[in-house]
A and B are shown apart, each in its own frame.
Chain A
Amino acid sequence: MRDRVYFYLYLCLIILFTLIHNIYFLAISLAIAFMLSRRDLRYLIKKSLFSVLFFSLIVSLSYLLMGLFKEIDYSFLALFNLRVFLLTYISFWVLENINIFKVLPKNVAALVALSFSQIYQFRNSFLDFWMGVNSRWSRFGYIKWIKSLKAMSFYFLNKTLHNGQEISMGMKSRGFFDD
C-alpha cells in the first residue's frame, strides 16, 4: 500500500513539474527533494548528473550556438536544465525506494519481473560472450564480427525458446497459475 501511494504521488509530481514553468518553483522543489533524500544525496546527484549530462549538454550548447545567430531567451537554459535534472533526480529517488512490483497489477508485475530477470541474465551472457570474442581477436574484422554475431544470435534465440518453456513449467509446478 505504501509503495502504491508513493508511486501515485510521484506520478502526480512529475506531471506537475512539467505543467509549471516557474524557475523558482522548480528550484525550491529540487531543494526540498535534496533535503528529503539527504541520506542518498551524493549518490543520487551523481547518478542523475551522469544520466542527463550528455543530452542536456548537447541541447544547451546547441541553444547557445543558436544564440549567435538570433535572439534567444537565456532563462530557458535554467528552466530546461532544472526541469530535466529535477525529473531525473526524483525518478531515481522514488524508483529506488519503492518496490515497483507491488505497484503494478499482479499479471503485469509478473511479466515485468520475469522480463527483468531474463534481461539481466541475457545481458550478462551477452557481455561475457563479447568479452570472450574480443579477447580472441588480435584486430577487428567485419567477417569475424559477422560470424560472432551469427553464433551469438543462434545461442540467444535457442535460449529464448528453451528458457520460455522452462520458466512456464517451473511456474506451473509451483502453482503460480490458476488456469
Chain B
Amino acid sequence: MHIPDGFISPITYIPAYAASACLWSIASKKVEIDSQNLSFLATLSALSFVFMMIAIPLPGGTSAHLSGIALLALIFGPWLSFVAASLVLVVEALIFGEGGITTLGINILAIAFIGSFSSYYVYKVLKKRNETLAIFLAGWVGVNLSAIFIALILGIQPIIASIEGKPLFFPFDIKTTTLAIVIPHLLIGLAEGAVTVILYRFLKKNFKAMFDEG
C-alpha cells in the first residue's frame, strides 16, 4: 500500500512530513526513547516488518500481505506500534529503496499512525461487549481506514495539483481511487481481522505475563 515517489504533489507531501514529524516528537516523549527502550524499539520494528511479510493465501492462487499493525497495537499499545511501524517504513525507504522518499510522511500517517490508533481504539471501545469481535474489527478497521486515507490522498491530486484541468501528479479522482483501493481492502481486511484474532489469542495465552503487565 506504499505510495511511490512522483505520485503526490508537494502541497500534500510537505504538510504530511510536518504532521509525521509532530507525531514522532510526541511519540518520542510517550514511549521514552532512552537507553532501555532503544534496542527494544529496534527489535519491535523487526517484528512489525515480519508481520508485514506474512502473505495470506487467498482463494484463486493470489495472496495479500498482512499489515500486522493491529496485532502490534493491541499487544504493545498504539504509540509503540506507531514508532515501530514508522521505523520499518523509514528503513524500507532509506535503505531498501522501497516506498518513496517524498511520500514517506504520507505512508507513515496512513500505515503507522492511522493503522495503530484506529485498531487500538476500536478494540478498546468494543472489548467489553465482545472481545473476539473487537479484535477482529480492530484488524479490519485498521487496514480499511489506512486504505481510505491513501485513496483520499491519491484522489485529491487531480483537484489540488492540476493546470487548466490537466493533472500533474496522480491523475484519477476519488471515485476511481476508492473503487480501486478501498474495495479490495474490504476483503483483505477480513483476512487481516481473522489472523489478528487467531494470533492475538494464541500469543495472549503463551505470553501471559507480558499481557497482564499491559
Contact = CB atoms under 8 A, between A and B. Distances in A.
A84 B198 contact: no
Interface of B: 4-7, 9-10, 13-14, 33-36, 38-47, 49-51, 53-54, 57, 75, 87-88, 90-91, 94-95, 97-98, 100-102, 163, 166-172, 195, 198-199, 202-203, 206-207, 210
Interface of A: 14-15, 18-19, 21, 47, 51-52, 55, 59, 62-63, 66, 73, 76, 79-80, 83-88, 91-92, 95, 100, 107, 110-112, 114-119, 121-123, 126, 140, 142, 145-146, 149-150, 152-154, 156-157, 159-161, 163-168, 171-172, 176-177, 179
A14 B42 contact: no
A145 B191 CA distance: 13
A171 B35 CA distance: 9
Instruction: Report whether over half of chain A's contact residues are helix, strand or loop; otherwise say mixed.
Output: helix
B35 A161 contact: no
Contacts of B46: 115, 118-119, 121-123, 160, 163
25 contacts: A15-B102, A18-B13, A51-B98, A52-B4, A76-B171, A80-B171, A84-B6, A84-B7, A85-B6, A86-B6, A100-B95, A107-B38, A111-B38, A117-B42, A118-B46, A142-B57, A149-B199, A153-B199, A160-B43, A161-B43, A164-B39, A164-B43, A164-B44, A171-B35, A177-B35
A153 B34 CA distance: 27
Instruction: Report whether over half of chain B's contact residues are helix, strand or loop; otherwise say mixed.
Output: helix
